[in-house]
A and B are shown apart, each in its own frame.
Chain A
Amino acid sequence: MVNVKIPTPLRKFTNQEGDVQAEGDTVIGVIESLEKSYPGIKKRLLDDNGEIRKFINIYVGEEDIRFLKGKETKTEGKEISIVPAIAGG
């Protein structure tokens, strides 16, 4: 089980919980597990092609998965954070 940090706009799926538990060895596994517990959340995280939406950042521990192996990144028991992209400038 890993802890997943849920951003405010997605808490309507998690009964307003900001921290939830999920199973899965990879990020995509965690997303599938979240969908089982909280139906509807997957569609908010993945686009129609099954890719992580452009404007969502997912971190495994401190690392942005875009710099690792994307949705196939191993979770290794680390906390997963889902963070809407913050635009600079």
Chain B
Amino acid sequence: MASLYRKSLWVFHLNTGSCNGCDIEVLNAFTPAQDAERFGVKLVGSPRHADAIALTGPITREALPRVIRALQAVPEPKIVVAIGSCACGGGIWHDGYSVLGGVEKLYEILEKKGIKRPITVFVPGCPPKPEAILYGILLARGMVKQKQKGRIYVESESAELMINKDLIESVKEQVMSSKISRKHVEQITSIVR
């Protein structure tokens, strides 16, 4: 990916029904304090001039046809920078009726229409800091390394030793051998199984 974009990356800012929190942070990234333009990143007015799309918002149904048209207009190879929780995974609206809920759902629709899935950079945050957006765009350019890694931990089977076996056995004995409920419990276990 880095080899594709050695030169300046021009970005088209596409709001797909966002609350404007992320949009303001995108604009902040281009102010003198963060100054994304020193890396050649520039906001452009038309998707036809852009290399990347800075996509904010959960993609409302109303916006969907325009989003698809804008994505089609960007020349290949293109990058989508999904900015904010809404664009990454739907955010607080993920199960709403009026939104698609994230770019992954958008790509499913694009694939049905025969449009190739673009390279995507996810920038989570609600809203992300301007620095985080800058980091995401530079990750697309290959200037910084990815820090976030997925993590899966599954407890080993030896966890069963944490509870005293004798205690469990004694409870079982107690229930099974008590004169009052033994017969009933046997009936119950047969029903449960």
Q: Does B bind A?
A: no
